[in-house]
């Protein structure tokens, strides 16, 4: 069960807009992360969760703690940026990627892919397995980025709690993979550890979608279940970044509950697969 369901609505209600603005300003001035364009309803719930988890009574006490304990900011960032994911999440998306997108990129040398907001790495291992089973991994060059260097470290380690394995196994089966998921990991105590060889063509980069600018060109960008946490203004900004970062006819995949239809740069993309929210760049 997602721990967020345990939040008290009273505790969320006690956090005012003034509190949130004060916190956002403090974080930007002291840590150079800008949450001002995050959807405030989601941001408020995540802040309330931090207060509850660490028995902090209010936002002022949280700010004081952030001043004195850098490790608290690391934990804060992990909670705010929502790092809960699965391998082969929404298996139908991964089937569509394998069956219809990758064949169109297979002749590219290399195939350049950016997993933006890669979180704790389950998406990266899913992508690597897909490319390997499709026979194109060796020509792929993958950049995995996230705002949070702690979750990047977890992604590099490939070490996950064994209780998440059942869901991941079922997702892989529904993806209709060629092997068994167990061919790609070993178990160790309460954890399972992904085969590090899957990362041989992956480079990791700490990157803030809010404040960052284009740093390379890609054939495919994955940014799933992230835009939903942004205001329309920030969605426009991020879509402009993605458009600038894609080769012509490159692909952008967002989450199943997201759309770029209402963004200012939407006309620069055509819908490749509406059901799976996959778009293709058609204009600079």
Residues 183-218 pLDDT 10s: 999 999 999 999 999 999 999 999 999 888 999 999
Convert the pLDDT of each residue in 24-74 to its tens digit: 899 888 888 888 877 788 788 888 888 988 889 899 999 999 988 878 888
The answer to whether 134 and 105 have CB atoms below 8 angstroms apart is: no
pLDDT of residue 3: 41
> CA 145 to CA 134: how far, in whole Å?
23
Is the sign of the CA dihedral 5, 9, 15, 16 positive or negative? positive
In whole angstroms, what separates CA 222 from the centre of its chain? 8
- pLDDT level of residue 10 (50, 70, 90 thresholds): very low
Listed range (21-25, 80-84, 98-102) with the worst mean pLDDT: 80-84
Residue 38 DSSP one-character state: B
Other CB atoms within a 10 A radius of the CB of residue 93 amount to: 22
Please compute the mean of the pLDDT values over residues 99-110 and round it to a whole number: 97
Mean of per-residue pLDDT scores for the chain: 90
pLDDT of residue 31: 84
The answer to whether 3 and 49 have CB atoms below 8 angstroms apart is: yes
State pTM to two decimals: 0.80
The answer to whether 59 and 15 have CB atoms below 8 angstroms apart is: yes
Nearest to 207 by CA among 83, 82, 118, 76: 118
Rg (CA), the chain: 19
Q: Which two tokens stand for residue 264?
A: 């200012």
Bridge partner residues of 254 (DSSP): 223
- With H, G, I as helix, E, B as strand and everything else as coil, classify residue 248: strand
> CA 144 to CA 199: how far, in whole Å?
10
Q: Which two tokens stand for residue 206?
A: 């700490």
> CB neighbours of 197 closer than 8 A, spacing ≥ 6?
none
Residue 222 φ then ψ, to 5°:
-105, 125
pLDDT of residue 70: 77
Q: Which two tokens stand for residue 52?
A: 């509850």
CA distances from 204 to 22, 121, 145, 282 (A): 32, 10, 6, 28
């Amino acid at each position: 069960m997602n721990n967020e369901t345990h939040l008290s609505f009273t505790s969320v209600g006690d956090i005012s807009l003034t509190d949130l603005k004060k916190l956002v300003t403090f974080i930007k001035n002291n840590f150079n992360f800008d949450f001002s364009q995050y959807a405030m309803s989601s941001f408020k719930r995540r802040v309330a969760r931090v207060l509850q988890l660490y028995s902090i009574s209010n936002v002022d006490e949280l700010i004081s703690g952030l001043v004195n304990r850098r490790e608290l900011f690391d934990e804060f960032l992990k909670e705010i940026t929502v790092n809960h994911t699965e391998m082969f999440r929404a298996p139908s998306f991964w089937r569509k990627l394998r069956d219809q997108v990758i064949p169109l990129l297979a002749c590219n040398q290399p195939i350049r892919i950016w997993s933006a907001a890669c979180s704790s790495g389950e998406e990266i291992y899913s992508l690597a397995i897909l490319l390997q089973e499709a026979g194109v991994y060796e020509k792929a060059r993958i950049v995995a980025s996230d705002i949070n260097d702690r979750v990047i470290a977890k992604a590099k380690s490939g070490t996950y709690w064994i209780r998440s394995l059942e869901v991941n196994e079922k997702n892989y089966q529904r993806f209709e993979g060629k092997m068994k998921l167990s061919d790609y990991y070993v178990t160790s105590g309460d954890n399972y550890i992904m085969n590090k060889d899957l990362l041989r063509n992956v480079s990791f980069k700490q990157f803030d979608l809010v404040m960052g600018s284009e740093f390379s060109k890609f054939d495919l960008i994955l940014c799933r279940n992230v835009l939903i946490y942004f205001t329309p203004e920030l969605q426009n900004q991020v879509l402009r970044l993605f458009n600038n970062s894609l080769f012509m006819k490159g692909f952008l995949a967002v989450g199943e509950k997201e759309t770029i239809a209402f963004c200012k740069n939407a006309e620069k993309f055509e819908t490749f697969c509406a059901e799976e929210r996959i778009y293709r760049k058609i204009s600079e």
